[in-house]
């Protein structure tokens, strides 16, 4: 099994979701199944079938989260001291062609959220940025165009 890199924030988020599923969602679902059962004939009981389907989803997600947490390798970016882009780096780049600046935070696949600027190490942009230093240019071949990002700043917070 391969370790999954996570920031402390990402690890806490997974633990929080697991705790909510086990302590809140699962008991609520068990109650919904009990109430639906009380309505009688299960073969034509939509509430019962919906609750059973939800139970399956909850149990599957619990197992998935337990597995991810077991494989987690928590890395605190604030403790990283280096000048190259690596896991946890906050990178300020300049799109050379568009003359626009962007911030990216490199995280593991579990934490990626493009809207928050969190990109996966395994994404095309993440792969292009890894190992670069300030002043380097990362080239990403996208379907629409080839993007060149000049690395302006690298920090680990």
Q: In this predicted model, what pLDDT tens digit does every residue of 69-99 receive, in sequence order? A: 999 999 998 888 788 999 999 999 999 999 9
Highest mean pLDDT among 2-6, 17-21, 121-125: 17-21
Q: Note the pLDDT of residue 43.
A: 75
46's enclosing H/E stretch is helix 46-71
Length of the chain: 157
Please, which residues have CB within 8 angstroms of residue 93's CB and are 6 or more apart in sequence?
A: 101, 102, 103, 104, 129, 138, 149, 150, 151, 152
Share of the chain above pLDDT 70, in %: 99
1 confidence band (pLDDT: 50, 70, 90): low
DSSP state of 23: I
pTM of the model: 0.76
Share of the chain above pLDDT 90, in %: 74
CA distance 60 to 64: 6
**102 pLDDT higher than 70:** yes
Q: Can you tell me whether residue 137 is helix, strand or coil?
A: strand
Q: What domains can you pick out in the chain, each with its CATH number?
A: 4-74 (1.10.287.180), 79-156 (3.10.50.30)
Question: How would DSSP label each residue in 75-111?
Answer: --GGG---SS--TTEEEEEEETTTTEEEEEEEE-TTT
Average pLDDT value over all residues in the chain: 92
């Amino acid at each position: 099994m391969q370790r999954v890199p996570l920031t402390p924030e990402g690890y806490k988020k997974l633990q929080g979701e697991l705790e909510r599923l086990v302590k809140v969602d699962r008991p609520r679902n068990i109650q919904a199944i009990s109430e639906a059962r009380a309505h009688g004939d299960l073969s034509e009981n939509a509430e019962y079938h919906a609750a059973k389907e939800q139970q399956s989803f909850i149990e599957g997600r619990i197992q998935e989260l337990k597995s991810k947490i077991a494989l987690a390798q928590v890395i605190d970016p604030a403790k990283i001291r280096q000048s190259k882009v690596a896991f946890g780096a906050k990178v300020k780049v300049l799109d050379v062609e568009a003359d626009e600046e962007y911030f990216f935070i490199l995280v593991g696949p579990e934490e990626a959220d493009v809207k928050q600027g969190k990109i996966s190490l395994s994404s095309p942009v993440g792969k292009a940025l890894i190992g670069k230093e300030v002043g380097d240019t990362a080239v990403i071949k996208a379907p629409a165009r080839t993007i060149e990002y000049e690395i302006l700043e690298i920090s680990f917070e």
